[in-house]
Amino acid sequence: MNCIVSHAGPKGPASFRLTALLFVVSFATTALAEDPQVERGARELQKKAIEEDSLATDYTSAGVKLQKALASCTPDKCSTRLRAELHRDIGAMQILGNHRDKGVASFADALRLDPALSIDPRYKTDDLEAQWEKVRKVVVPGDLPRGDFTHSPPREQLVRTPVPIYVEYGGDAAVVKVVVKYKGPAMVEFKPVDLTKHGKGWGGTVPCVEAVEGDLHYFLQGFNAAGDLIATSGTRALTFKVAIRRTLQGDAPRLPGAAPPATCSEADCPPAFPGCRDNKDEGKREGEDCNDNAQCRSGNCASGKCQEIPKDPKRFWFGFQGSIDLNLIPSGNDVCKLNATDGSPLNSSGYYCTNMDGSDYPSRSNTAENTAIQLDKNDRVKGGAAVGNIRLMVSFDYAITPNILLGIRGGYVHNTYPGSAASKPFGPIHLEARGTYLLGQGVDVDGLVPYVFFAAGASQFDTSVPVSVVLAGASSNTRDAQAWAIAGPGFVAGGGGLRMTAGRIAFFGGAKVTGAFGGPIGFLPSLAPEAGMQVGF
């Protein structure tokens, strides 16, 4: 109080009363921000864990006590320093108890709260100290300034986004004002910004207009009610540092208990402000190396290079494609033999047979051919994979977004069932509706991208395999025929592949898995490689 009187004397009674009031408010605010009883209880648990359980090598019991202390030590009841110590002590017990990964994580939590913290000498070992310093190098960005404030600087922040700064002060002198003096990459001199009371400490933000890509430097100053500088952390020569980036590698920084600051809108950008998308001279040029779209003037990064700005987005894509079905057919016995009463196939799999010239076999008008076929002699299909139809189609896709295409396919189906005995589900026509999703940059950017698709439609699906039929008479009396598996007209399909775009031309190739429904066979699954090309407009 004598210090305050000496400053108040020449200023008169009113100044004295104001100064005394500020001191009382500051003291009361600091006192209310902490709970001495909670801190005292946490300290007692910490002491028992380290000086009793740890010395007895009962690291599990020590960890339980420390975890209980930390659970009671919420940010509004305990100092940042104590919470950092508890994280550190928990990590030490975990490592000593052979849980190194958990211990390393706890060390990191401690150093994020208090980068100036050291390992406790009561349990320090060479291994613990080495691990502590190893974690410090990863967590603490560079050689941090030391001083009167407890402060952990944000590692990074987005361009055009306010940078949150939070500090705590545990000194004896009463601090009534905390100032951050900062300098961004585009600044020649430090500027001040005042912090305000925030929970147990002081918090505020560096304005978004100073968040230019590069490094933001700052140091801290604390003043008493008389305006005297009584606390510092850092200097003009040794500053805290925050990397201002276009993309964040970790979580967005924030003040305790608050949401991350929002990025300033384009309307808030001053003329020629770096990072604003209306600044056409900012960003990398076409052909320069890039990691993401935001680094390029055009906003297009593909294959590690900045691409030109699309002057004419291509939405309509016309082309053609082809595919070959590899069908999975069922097994069957006596696949050519007919039921004598109604002329339907005797086999339960749904096969129909034809002669090698494509005519029906056996003939429905000549029952002698069917009578001559011997049962259980041959005339069987083993089942498995067999080549089916060849499909030649024209294609049309419309890009509703650069990555989503909706379209249709239509065309001719080759190698269909040639007979007339079986009903043909749809004929040699293929109709298909398809939705495609490009996993990469989209149709407007040159390069190779993967794609996936889903399709449905109507068509005919046929597969023929050769069979040998044993006829009545000598055992050598046989006849060659073709057994047909026929399915459709409904089908669903899905698949994927790769699409290569070069200007207005796109080539694609992939595989399609199809399930055909209906027809004599009932259900016919297939795998079909497909390839094609399209022209964009």
Residue 187: give its domain's CATH number: 2.60.40.10
**What's the rounded Cα separation, in Å, for the pair 484 and 474?**
27
- The model's confidence at residue 1, banded by pLDDT at 50, 70 and 90, is very low
| Domains: count for the chain | 4
**Residue 203 shares a structural domain with residue 296:** no
pLDDT value, residue 101: 83
The CATH number of residue 348's host domain is: 2.40.160.20
Same domain, 163 and 300: no
Distant-in-sequence, close-in-space partners of 495: CB < 8 Å, separation ≥ 6: 452, 453, 510, 511, 512, 513, 530
pLDDT at 535 over 50: yes
Structural domain boundaries enclosing 235? 149-257
Q: Are 379 and 408 contained in the same domain?
A: yes
Regarding whether 342 and 227 lie in a shared domain, the answer is no
- Same-domain check for residues 300 and 416: no
CATH of the domain at 134: 1.25.40.10
* One domain, residues 340 and 416: yes
Is 357 found in the same domain as 441?
yes
| pLDDT beyond 80 at 58 | yes
Which residue has tokens 């920084």?
253
Question: What digits encode the pLDDT tens for the residues 433-473?
Answer: 999 999 977 887 788 999 999 999 999 999 999 999 999 87
* pLDDT single digits (tens) 317-346: 999 999 999 999 999 999 999 998 888 999
Same domain, 48 and 107: yes
- In sequence order, what are the residues at sequence separation of 6 or more whose Cβ sits closer than 8 angstroms to the Cβ of residue 390? 322, 323, 324, 325, 413, 414, 415
Q: Where are the beta strands (DSSP E) in 71-153?
A: 149-151
* In-domain check, residue 228: yes
- 131 and 184, same structural domain? no
Residues 445 and 385 in one domain: yes
Query: Sorting pLDDT into bands at 50, 70 and 90, what band is 141?
Result: low
Q: Which residues contact 475 (CB under 8 A, 6 or more apart)?
A: none
28 assigned to some structural domain: no
Q: Measure the CA–CA gap between 481 and 484, rounded to whole angstroms.
A: 10
10 Å CB burial of residue 315 (0-12, 13-18, 19+) is middle
Note whether 58 and 49 are within 8 A (CB): no
Q: What confidence score (pLDDT) does residue 176 get?
A: 93
DSSP 8-state secondary structure symbol assigned to residue 438? E
Q: Which residue has the higher pLDDT, 245 or 12?
A: 245
- Same domain for 446 and 522? yes
pLDDT tens, position by position, 222-268: 999 999 999 999 888 788 889 888 888 777 899 988 889 988 875 45
pLDDT at residue 7, as a whole number = 34
| Structural domain contains residue 213 | yes
Give a yes or no: residue 353 inside a domain.
Answer: yes
The count of C-alpha atoms lying within 13 angstroms of the C-alpha of 325, restricted to the half-sphere facing its C-beta, is: 29
- How confident is the model at residue 266, as a pLDDT? 55
**Mean pLDDT (whole number) for 11-39:** 47
User: Is the model's pLDDT at 4 over the cut of 80?
Assistant: no
Q: For residue 5, what pLDDT is reported? A: 32
Q: Indicate whether 294 and 422 sit together in one domain.
A: no
